């Protein structure tokens, strides 16, 4: 089974490039309507997708820009210097992902569009309780399929986003034990409400070799791992659109996000039982904020039964818990002294 590959989405021939004006140019693919930014300098041309890394807003010309190098996001006024591909507001934050300008502009997209249809398995009847989802807090959920347990985006302790976000729902008292005893962990992307280094630091002291799976995004999920000094020894970066077999019954696939393919991912889980397998009776996946995950921010894990085959897919809001499970404290004049929120424990959702 082959992984997801890139494809050319916009092509500029030499004549088109010569016709570009110096500085910032906005170009649209007439076939699909997607927009791109091209910066023409004295000796180099740079290009990127017209999409802000913060929350996917479109860039326009910045009226405060005197040098013809900066564009401004229409959502939250983030600013990008297209000449350097650095975000200048906020400073020292992100680098914009460039497109290849060697005769064409390329953007990585999901191709084939439905890789989960590869290697189909015969659908079989499932009994009640064989697939169990347990909401832990925020984007963290536990998925139990048969005798295997998976945990997703564990933010269990500490704040996120430079103390700007705190957990609204207090995790169950045994949440860290559940995490350390899981068969594997999936982390959708590198935002700190999904990739929580305080949580992982405590996990590494209990079980440093726990298998952790992330997608092969162009902006690595664990880009800060070395500086964090968190000792995790079994991180697996897997290609998009390829089934990963946990055992003969359980497999999962990581997919790139449609809004932020350079940094965000989602997951499909597939459970298949043998005809003679008994019913699983012990009780036990992703909810998020950001844009993926696992579509981050305002996302939950969806589990659907389809002809006896269970698929749990991160990224489709459907289960009955709050969409906004973390609260930004930017409007509070004293955010660091805000009392902890009311205790709300996670709950189980059984199929």
Confidence of residue 320 (pLDDT cuts 50, 70, 90): very low
- Does residue 2 surpass a pLDDT of 70? no
**Bond from prior residue into 90 cis (ω within 30 degrees of 0):** yes
Convert the pLDDT of each residue in 64-115 to its tens digit.
888 889 999 999 999 999 999 999 988 888 888 877 665 444 444 456 768 8
Residue 51 lies in a domain: yes
Pairing of β 212-215 and β 184-186: parallel
Residue 75 is encoded by which pair of tokens? 């959502």
Residues 315 and 291 in one domain: yes
- Does residue 289 surpass a pLDDT of 80? no
Residue 2 lies in a domain: no
The model's pTM is: 0.55
pLDDT for 141 equals 96
Residue 1 lies in a domain: no
- Does residue 156 surpass a pLDDT of 90? yes
Convert the pLDDT of each residue in 115-129 to its tens digit.
888 888 887 777 788
pLDDT for 309 equals 33
- Does residue 314 surpass a pLDDT of 70? no
Q: Which residue has the higher pLDDT, 16 or 58?
A: 58
CA–CA distance, 62 with 52 (Å, rounded to integer): 14
Residues 220 and 184 in one domain: yes
Q: Look at residues 107, 133, 156 and tell me which one is the last residue of a structural domain.
A: 107
Q: Which residue has the higher pLDDT, 67 or 230?
A: 230
- Does residue 222 surpass a pLDDT of 80? yes
pLDDT for 73 equals 94
Residues in the chain: 351
114 alpha carbon, distance to own chain's centre? 18
**Helix (H) / strand (E) containing 265:** strand 265-271
Q: Look at residues 107, 139, 158 and tell me which one is the last residue of a structural domain.
A: 107
Among the listed ranges 25-39, 91-105, 244-258, which one has the minimum average pLDDT value?
Answer: 91-105
Whether the Cβ atoms of residue 337 and residue 327 lie closer than 8 Å to each other: no
Radius of gyration for the chain, computed over Cα atoms and rounded to the nearest angstrom: 22
Q: Look at residues 107, 141, 175 and tell me which one is the last residue of a structural domain.
A: 107
**CA nearest 65: which of 47, 88, 35?**
88
CA–CA distance, 46 with 56 (Å, rounded to integer): 20
- Does residue 337 surpass a pLDDT of 80? no
Residues 250 and 195 in one domain: yes
CA–CA distance, 338 with 234 (Å, rounded to integer): 37
Burial class (CB in 10 A: 0-12, 13-18, 19+), 125: exposed
Residues 21 and 169 in one domain: no
pLDDT for 93 equals 81
Buried b (16+ CB within 10 A) or exposed e, 28-46: eeeeeebebbbbbeeeeeb
pLDDT for 30 equals 81
SS3 state of residue 28: strand
CATH number at residue 12: 2.102.10.10
Residues 222 and 199 in one domain: yes
Per the structure, the complete domain to which residue 264 belongs is given by 115-350
CA–CA distance, 273 with 209 (Å, rounded to integer): 28
């Amino acid at each position: 089974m082959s992984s997801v590959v890139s494809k050319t989405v916009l092509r500029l021939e030499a004549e088109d490039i010569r016709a570009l004006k110096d500085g910032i140019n906005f170009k649209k693919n007439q076939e699909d309507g997607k927009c791109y930014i091209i910066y023409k300098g004295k000796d180099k041309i740079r290009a990127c997708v017209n999409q802000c890394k913060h929350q996917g807003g479109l860039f326009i010309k910045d009226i405060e820009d005197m040098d013809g190098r900066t564009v401004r996001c229409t959502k939250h006024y983030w600013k990008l210097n297209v000449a350097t591909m650095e975000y200048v507001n906020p400073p020292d934050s992100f680098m914009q992902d460039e497109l290849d300008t060697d005769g064409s502009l390329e953007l990585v997209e999901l191709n084939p569009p439905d890789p989960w249809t590869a290697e189909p398995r015969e659908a079989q009847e499932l009994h009640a309780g064989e697939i169990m989802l347990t909401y832990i807090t925020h984007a963290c959920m536990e998925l139990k399929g048969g005798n295997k347990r998976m945990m997703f985006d564990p933010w269990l302790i500490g704040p996120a986003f430079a103390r700007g976000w705190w957990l609204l729902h207090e995790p169950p008292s045994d949440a860290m034990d559940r995490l350390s005893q899981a068969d594997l962990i999936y982390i959708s992307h590198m935002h700190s409400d999904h990739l929580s280094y305080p949580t992982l630091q405590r996990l590494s002291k209990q079980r440093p070799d726990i298998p952790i799976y992330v997608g092969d995004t162009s902006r690595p999920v664990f880009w800060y791992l070395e500086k964090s000094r968190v000792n995790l020894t079994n991180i697996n970066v897997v290609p998009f659109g390829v089934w990963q077999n946990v055992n003969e019954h359980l497999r999962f696939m990581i997919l790139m996000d449609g809004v932020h393919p350079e940094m965000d991912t989602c997951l499909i889980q597939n459970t298949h039982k043998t005809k003679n397998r008994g019913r699983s009776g012990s009780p036990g996946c992703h909810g998020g904020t950001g844009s993926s995950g696992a579509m981050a921010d305002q996302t939950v894990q969806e589990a659907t039964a389809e002809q006896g085959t269970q698929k749990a897919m991160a990224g489709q809001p459907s289960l009955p818990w709050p969409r906004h499970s973390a609260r930004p404290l930017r409007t509070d004049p004293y955010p660091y002294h805000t009392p902890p929120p009311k205790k709300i424990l996670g709950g189980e959702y059984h199929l």
